[in-house]
Amino acid sequence: MSKTIPLWGACALLASTLLSANATHANAQAAYTPVTFQNVSVHDPSVIKSGGTYYVFGSHLASAKSTDLMRWQQITDSVSATNKLFLNGASNVYTELAETFSWAQTSTLWAPDVIRLADGKYYMYYNACKGDSPRSALGIAVADNIEGPYVNKGVILKSGMWGQASYDGTVYDALKHPNTVDPNVFFDNGGRLWMVYGSYSGGIFIMQMNPANGMPLPGQGYGKRLVGGNHARIEGAYVMYSPATQYYYLFTSFGGLDASGGYNMRVARATSPDGPYVDAQGVSMANVKADPAKPLFDDASIAPYGVKIMGNFLFERRLGEAGTGIGTGYVSAGHNSAYYDAATGKHFLIFHSRFPERGEQHEVRVHQMFMNADGWPVVAPYRNTNETLVAVRREFVLGDYMFVNHAKDISANIKKSRLITLNTNGTISGAASGTWKLVETNRIEVSLPGFSPFKGVFLSQWDETSKNYVMTFSATSREGVSIMGSRLVPRTDAQVVTAIYNELSLGNTSAVTGNLALPTVGARDAVISWSSSNPSVLSNTGVVTSPAGDVTLTLTATITKGTARMVKSFTVTVRKIGGMLAHYTFDGSLADATGAFGAGSVIGGKIDVPGGSLAYEAGMKGSAAVFNGATGVRLPNGLISTNNYTVAMWLKPAQLTAFTTTFFGARNGDAWISFLPKGHDGVGGASMLWSGTAWYDAGLGMTIPAGQWSHVALAVNNGAVGVYVNGVKRYSGVNFPNVFTTTSGVFALGVNWWDTPYKGSMDDLRIYGTALSDAEISSLAH
């Protein structure tokens, strides 16, 4: 319950026709410039438009603003005495909301909502929760300016008063009474004011409010329950009225909010603001609650209900497709708000999301929504660029698509796209079989076995992965299941194979000690098969058997798509597992003393910035490298390509700066490890080993001193990790992320892509292809 922040083969004639059509379509787009976004982190974003600016307010008193729903500017980011939303002279959020913090027994806030009432003032409905129980308080603060300062008007609801009478006169019962958090306040079509709220516990409730002062109308108790109960994992309620359909839409998020929680957004609708809300199957959401006979937070009871508009997914970029990286997708996207723009008739979905391979890091995302032929919202697959539905030509929607079926489950699994083809004869082939048709000018109807027809829209959108406009579709069935598709650039089989050939790389294969991850599938489901000239050392599937000495062999890839075929060979040197991989002594140069890897190179203050100037001084073992605070060292790629390794070095920081790295290794910008002499506030500023794959914080409980030498080492053995200072183990843990799954990892000293460079000295960097024992590491420190 805590709100802690911390997915063609075609004849040459068809391909030629489609390539020509694609070019015509691109010309019709005019000479566009690449679309850019500016991202912010606001958990549980609630949207309000003031003048020409959109604002989002979220948990932990974070807020941001934008004039175009694309480029955001952070306003505030945490609950603190200096947060300007409540800063008014000597008064701050702690003094203003003292009663709330005291009741909820917490020092932070959950998801607020801001609305402007008839008096022209802005009313913030704030709330706080203990977190491990529904002991919560919800109140109102008012400001003349939307950016504050807000002045408290008092608590209006409380929950979690165990053994005491609640607002309806009965003893508080968390199975049926609400957790008084996560409010959304809205006007209905007749000008009446309502507040919907709740999280887990007794469910989502709605109350009628006084539009003159924002307070609850008397005699309602907790109000009327709309959905949930028995601690069902349903929260983040938000109501949007659409004049286009004349329905009220109740959005909620099912599941747990963290990266492993399976958070997903669902919607139901009603003709009245206080319900009853029903899903596309006609089920009243008032009947949707957890089974009290099952374990706490039972998801199976609620998963079949509501229209699931988005869950975990990834439009997976396959090897050889346009762009770079793994593709575009979301993890645990949810706790949304929604906005209807009366001037344009557009509907927007505003939510926070985590991302594949990025752990708990989250950002705000905005997508457009469109009402399908049955009056249900379908969410555009890619983020909003203020695009508009226009008539589409049939030839522009034919072809290969990355296809995602969001299903109805509540699961941490990421649904990766699969390849389908919309054929000219109206059939669908590939990973899904069925039929499709273009209805009217831009609507799609898809028929798949086991489902009523999926109804939605075609829309040209900006794809951040390929950096191009692509045709997309999104549609929903009456079972409450949503599907999405993103069209791939038309290519012949020969073009597909050539693209895979050009991109296929195994990275640095001059000193392989761990198993190689050999891709077997490429773009458009092309097949990649492998053969090794010495399978006893390196098998055809990439498994390494440690040789007695270095062995050089040839690994050959055969890429096949239809009748197209290409062969690419790689020279691989396999070294004995467990020995020293590299040794940088810094004795006047950046050479690897083992000779297995090349020398390091001096760079500027970031991995991708040239420049820098490195000096040398007397060190612990001969000379040491001196980093001046504006310089880093780029080491050869692929130093580590296994989940069994040790890194050891001597450090003498000249100053201690939070987040500054010494040894940094990364698979990409989202998956990395870093040793910090001074860590973040979450470990009290102690030295730490940090990983960005799953935000693994290995705080040492002490800080290596500035101005003197300390020996530090980290040893990883298939997820078990130990971190040492001067030969003494200071941290021991499990489930450390497996970052180095390729031989193309990036490595640097003193710098990364983001933070203040290291200032100080470094000596005797040793990297081993095994996790050394405590005794072996202790011997290195002497």
Residue among 250, 252, 236, 254 nearest 299 (CA): 254
Query: Which amino acid would we find at residue 203?
Result: G
By DSSP bridging, strand 136-143 and strand 151-159 are antiparallel
Query: CA-to-CA distance for 396 and 379, rounded, in angstroms?
Result: 21
Contact predicate 268/227, CB 8 Å: yes
Residue among 361, 341, 344, 340 nearest 352 (CA): 361
Helices (H), 82-174: 93-96, 98-104
Q: What is the DSSP letter of 179?
A: P
Contact predicate 626/614, CB 8 Å: yes
Residue among 768, 782, 779 nearest 621 (CA): 782
The helix (H) or strand (E) run that includes residue 28 is: helix 12-28
**Catalytic amino acids?**
44, 235
Q: Taking the CA of residue 227 as centre, how many other CA atoms within 13 Å lie in the half-sphere pointing to its CB?
A: 34
Structure tokens at 496: 């597909």
Query: CA-to-CA distance for 349 and 369, rounded, in angstroms?
Result: 6
Beta strands in 548-703 (DSSP E): 551-561, 564-574, 580-584, 601-603, 615-618, 623-628, 632-635, 644-653, 663-668, 671-676, 688-691, 696-699
Paired with 763 in beta bridges are 650
Query: CA-to-CA distance for 768 and 714, rounded, in angstroms?
Result: 11
Helices (H), 56-191: 93-96, 98-104
Structure tokens at 153: 């008007």
C-alpha distances (whole Å) from 742 to each of 254, 256, 283, 290, 665 are 35, 32, 49, 43, 12
Contact predicate 136/144, CB 8 Å: no
